[in-house]
């Protein structure tokens, strides 16, 4: 958590979270700064890691991988040395867009985009069934995105 963020920084982050493609001039007007001051603040927010990256959220119908899948993964052993290989393998997978380590009954939640069930089955076999540390996984096919 960045403790050196002020109210204006938080306002900038809130606006950019909704639309990171706003022109600097519009962003500056919304937060009550000059364009140059706003540009410096955004650059600083990027420099300190408050803004980690800017991404585009693409309509799945425009992609080859139209099927969004959420998978919860349970691990047999939970030490970092046991999960390290699993997470390294996920980094190499183009289909996986997000991976979270979570508390509770499961150890990890994944979001992936696949072209069809055949691709998902191949990924599940390779990532989950073949990993001796994965004790169970549950798959959720996304029917529609609400927010």
pLDDT of residue 46: 94
Consecutive H or E run containing 67? strand 67-75
> Which of the four pLDDT bands, split at 50, 70 and 90, describes residue 63?
confident
> Which of the four pLDDT bands, split at 50, 70 and 90, describes residue 48?
very high
pLDDT of residue 61: 75
Q: What share of the chain is helix, strand, coil (3-state, %, to 5)?
A: 40, 20, 40
Domains, the chain, with CATH or none: 7-47 (1.10.10.10), 60-141 (3.30.70.920)
Query: How many whole angstroms separate alpha carbon 125 and alpha carbon 26?
Result: 48
DSSP state, 60? Answer: G
The answer, as to whether pTM is greater than 0.75, is: no
Lowest-pLDDT choice from 8-17, 72-81, 97-106? 72-81
| Residue tagged 């069809």 (tokens) | 116
> Would you say residue 1 has pLDDT above 60?
no
> Would you say residue 67 has pLDDT above 80?
yes
């Amino acid at each position: 958590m960045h403790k050196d963020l002020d109210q204006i920084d938080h306002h900038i982050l809130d606006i950019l979270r909704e639309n990171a493609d706003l022109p600097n001039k519009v962003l500056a007007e919304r937060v009550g700064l000059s364009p140059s001051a706003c540009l410096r603040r955004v650059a600083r927010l990027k420099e300190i890691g408050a803004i980690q990256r800017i991404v585009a959220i693409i309509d799945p119908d425009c992609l080859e991988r139209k099927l969004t899948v959420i998978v919860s993964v349970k691990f047999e052993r939970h030490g970092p040395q046991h999960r390290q290989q699993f997470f390294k393998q996920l980094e190499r997978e183009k289909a996986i867009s997000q991976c979270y380590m979570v508390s509770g009954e499961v150890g990890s939640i994944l979001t992936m985009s696949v072209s069809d069930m055949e691709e998902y089955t191949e990924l599940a076999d390779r990532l989950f069934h073949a990993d001796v540390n994965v004790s169970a996984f549950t798959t959720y096919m996304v029917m529609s995105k609400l927010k």
